[in-house]
Structure 1
């Protein structure tokens, strides 16, 4: 068995019905286990921890991102936590019989699919970063969602 873990963060922590609908997308994928999820209304953010075979986790993450895109409008969002998108981060962590390099390759594959199929801009960070200035997540988040359009135009 090969296992990875992912802890996607979604920019919704107040409307728990929305969070439940995002979690439901992971429940639909065979071979994905939801280990935990929690919401913080002050930060207006939810964190969901899932694990499973890499391909199953990838499918769940794509579906969760699609559902977040449908249900979360950052134009009507406020919270204490800096954010860039409805799906804010999707870290991938090797757990068993998977290498860090395989997780990096999967992050790039998933990011490409999200970008192409969902038409959502994707920034890869830390070990998956495509440039040195994108390694730090705080650098990517500078200007947050409100300045994202100008950031894309110049980046």
Structure 2
């Protein structure tokens, strides 16, 4: 299947060019884009699962529910992509290779977007904290601080809204895999579906809490309406797809 991750493609390139024959080739050290990225910021995505869970469990307020919601969405999409890849390689389904490969590629794109938002949600939270930490002694400082808080709060609401939108788009992947994917993997579709719904619902909570302090009532109302719309449509999609999954579980 063409739905390979960036890391898999790099590994294939390293092996095909024999870059590790003399000594281990570390792409994080040898590929300039990766090296610059690792220097520029501390990414949650660079942690292993235990480190991520430990960081979440700690007394640090971030990563919090927003980043975890985005990660749950990425897991849900990844399960859908896994089913696409397994279906693409299923014996006797050669005529369906292109169809499932296309979905695997889409899954990679959706997964990457949600993983980006895992880090971005924590970055958005930091912007809010930085804004609240600004000086407030003079009238000018108070005005600048208030404006910064409003701007940061708006961004902190927009990020989980993007999570909701991306996760909602991912339902189509799960629907196709539930309907047409390898029947032996239907439970994986079901778990992915549950993860996507949790992602949407969790992200919705984070939009709402970040809107609480927003003074622009028109903007607040517009974003609240988007949340309500996506949440309702998400529940509708979930119910339709879970029925297909349940019917095939036996």
Alignment TM-score, normalising by the size of structure 1: 0.40
Give the TM-score of the pair, scaled to structure 2.
0.28
**Structure index of larger Rg:** 2
Higher strand share: 1
